């Protein structure tokens, strides 16, 4: 089991290039299955989850070629299976994203039920209900979602909870359905918009992506095309919080600032000075200690739940008290006990965390439990006195490309121990 060894105390300073967004590239790779020719996806981050999705596409029979820059060409014309097996799906919940495309393109799909994970039960009822509304016949048995449809029919679907991958699955299915589909209470995340951009370029007819109502007029076929993936707003946010916590100055390049409004506003509230251009965000803290900021997670354009752990880390050393309310997942506070072991003063009351900032925290052996919790622990380690060892680093590698290299380039003392 690999670990990260971090010596705290250095400021983060310099430039860091932000990779393509994990939560955009995963639905887009699944969407390549809808085409009747090959697609080329560029700016793909080198992440465990991308490798898993590539393996799944390969398992379905698609032909993949990956070049040295991680650009991926997917040829779906060789697909010969519509089964997404448990051994793959259990390692990555986002595998559920092949359900809509397989059903729409081939009329069949058997996808293992994704288990829950550390942050919650993560049901997929909204995905299933929406596809049933489009006249899919779906049974859930033996741990698999078994779906079939001669041809999906356009429908008006109201999603009673905002679901990012739920919206994406239904959006992808609707592109080849017979008639018009309206998805109401749709997720508005930038990654949904990036997927819709790719689908439109394939020939789909989509209106309203990025709003809470998406209208899709089904077409007969979609052709493969080239697409460059949106920059990762969560990776960028993570590095900017690291700069704010260490009192440094970091420039994130190749980012999409317009996708980061809620996070940038909170960084300003914490006392950071931001300089923004169309593909760059620079943060200057000039040695100041962060001010506490209250956080209330919500669907986009609200504050992203994927940045909650990182802001809890910053609030742990801020000069005052703050509250964080997690409204998206029922158990996304696994990082709290690890942060407490480093000296953070955090009290949990239901889905609210009350944080009293402390002057200093100490390094400790800690364990990662989920992707963003790990990021929060690494940020704590950057400012902790002494040495921190973060175990179960595979969680980090799911969503951050070469994090120890990027942090080292910014001046952190961090190394990977195998």
Please give the positions annotated as active site: 117
Segment lying near ligand EPZ (by CB under 6 A), choices 29-37, 119-127, 200-208, 339-347: 119-127
What mask of x and - would describe binding to ligand EPZ in positions 356 to 385, judged by CB under 6 A?
Answer: ---------------xx-------------
Of residues 367 and 373, the one with the C-beta less far from ligand EPZ: 373
140 lies in the binding site for ligand EPZ (CB under 6 A): no
120 vs 179 by CB, closer to ligand EPZ: 120
Q: How many residues bind ligand EPZ (CB under 6 A)?
A: 23
Instruction: Pick the closer one to ligand EPZ by CB: 328 or 384.
Output: 328
Q: Where are the beta strands (DSSP E) in 189-316?
A: 205-207, 213-217, 226-228, 249-253, 273-277, 280-284, 295-296
Supply the minimum distance, in Å, between the C-beta of residue 131 and ligand EPZ: 11
- Cα four-point dihedral sign 18, 22, 23, 25: positive
Which contacts (CB < 8 Å, 24+ apart) does range 121-127 have? 121/330, 122/93, 122/329, 124/96, 124/166, 126/159, 126/160, 126/161, 126/163, 126/166, 127/96, 127/99, 127/100, 127/163, 127/165, 127/166, 127/169, 127/170
**Cβ atoms of residues 312 and 335 within 8 Å:** yes
Query: Could you tell me the maximum CA-CA distance found in the chain, to the nearest angstrom?
Result: 63
- Taking CB under 6 A as the rule, does residue 210 contact ligand EPZ? no
Tell me which residue has tokens 């939560």: 23
Residue closer to ligand EPZ, measured from CB, 175 or 305 = 305
Using CB under 6 A, which of 34, 102, 124, 262 touches ligand EPZ?
A: 124
* DSSP labels, 361-406: -B--EEE--SHHHHHHHHHHHHHSBSEEEEE-THHHHHH-TTHHHH
- The tokens for 109 are 């799909």
Letters for 85-104 (x = contact with ligand EPZ by CB under 6 A, - = none) are ---------x----------
| Under rule CB under 6 A, residue 310 binds ligand EPZ | no
Q: Does 309 bind ligand EPZ (CB under 6 A)?
A: no
Task: Decide whether 10 or 43 has the Cβ nearer to ligand EPZ.
Answer: 43
Half-sphere exposure of 143 (CA within 13 A, CB side): 10
CA-wise closest residue to 376 among 260, 277, 295, 283: 295
**Which residue from 33, 57, 126, 225 is in contact with ligand EPZ, where contact means CB under 6 A?**
126
Q: In the window 159-178, what residues touch ligand EPZ (CB under 6 A)?
A: 161, 163-166
Residue 231 or 399 having the CB closest to ligand EPZ: 399
Q: Which tokens belong to 188?
A: 């508005």
Binding flag, residue 188, ligand EPZ (CB under 6 A): no
Contacts of 184 (CB under 8 A, 6+ apart): 156, 157, 158, 159, 212, 213
Q: Which stretch binds ligand EPZ (CB under 6 A): 121-129, 174-182, 287-295, 347-355?
A: 121-129
Per CB under 6 A, which of residues 397..416 are in contact with ligand EPZ? 399
Does 334 bind ligand EPZ (CB under 6 A)? Our answer is no
- Minimum distance from CB of 293 to ligand EPZ (Å)? 19
- The closest alpha carbon to 380, from 410, 349, 337, belongs to 337
The residues binding ligand EPZ (CB under 6 A) are 22-23, 26, 94, 120, 122-127, 161, 163-166, 305-306, 328-329, 371-372, 399
């Amino acid at each position: 089991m690999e670990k990260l060894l971090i010596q705290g105390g250095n400021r983060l300073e310099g430039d860091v290039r932000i990779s393509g967004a994990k939560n955009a590239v995963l639905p887009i790779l699944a969407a390549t299955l809808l085409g009747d020719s090959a697609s080329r996806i560029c700016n793909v981050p080198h992440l465990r989850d991308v490798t898993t999705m590539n393996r799944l596409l390969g398992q379905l029979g698609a032909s993949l070629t990956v070049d040295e820059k991680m650009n991926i060409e997917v040829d779906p014309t060789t697909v010969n299976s519509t089964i997404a097996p448990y051994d793959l799906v259990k390692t990555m919940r986002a595998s559920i994203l092949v359900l809509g495309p397989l059903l729409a393109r081939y009329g069949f799909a058997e996808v293992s039920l994704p288990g829950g994970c550390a942050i919650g039960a993560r049901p997929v009822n909204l995905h299933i209900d929406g596809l049933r509304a489009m006249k899919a016949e779906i049974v859930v048995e033996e741990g698999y979602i078994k779906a079939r449809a001669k041809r999906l029919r356009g429908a008006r679907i109201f999603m009673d909870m905002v679901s990012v991958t739920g919206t994406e699955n239904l959006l992808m299915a609707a592109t080849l359905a017979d008639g018009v589909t309206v998805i109401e209470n749709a997720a508005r995340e930038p990654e949904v918009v990036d997927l819709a951009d790719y689908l439109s370029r394939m020939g789909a007819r989509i209106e309203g992506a990025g709003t809470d109502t998406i209208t899709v007029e089904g077409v007969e076929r979609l052709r493969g095309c080239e697409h460059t993936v949106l920059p990762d707003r969560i990776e960028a946010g993570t590095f900017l919080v690291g700069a704010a916590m260490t009192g440094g100055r970091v420039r994130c390049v190749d980012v999409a600032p317009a996708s980061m409004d809620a996070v940038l506003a909170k960084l300003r509230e914490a006392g950071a000075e931001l300089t923004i251009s169309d593909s760059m965000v620079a943060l200057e803290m000039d040695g100041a200690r962060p001010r506490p900021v209250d956080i209330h997670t919500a669907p986009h354009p609200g504050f992203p739940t994927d940045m909650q752990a990182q802001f809890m880390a910053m609030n742990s050393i801020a000069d005052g008290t703050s509250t964080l309310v997690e409204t998206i997942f029922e158990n996304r506070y696994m990082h709290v006990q690890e942060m407490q072991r480093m000296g953070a003063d955090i009290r949990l009351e239901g889905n609210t965390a009350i944080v009293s900032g402390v002057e200093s925290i100490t390094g400790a052996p800690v364990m990662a439990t989920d992707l963003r919790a790990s990021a929060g622990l690494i940020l704590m380690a950057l400012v902790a006195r002494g040495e921190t060892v973060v175990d179960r680093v595979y969680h980090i590698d799911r969503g951050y490309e070469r994090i120890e290299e990027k942090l080292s380039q910014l001046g952190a003392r961090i190394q990977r121990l195998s």
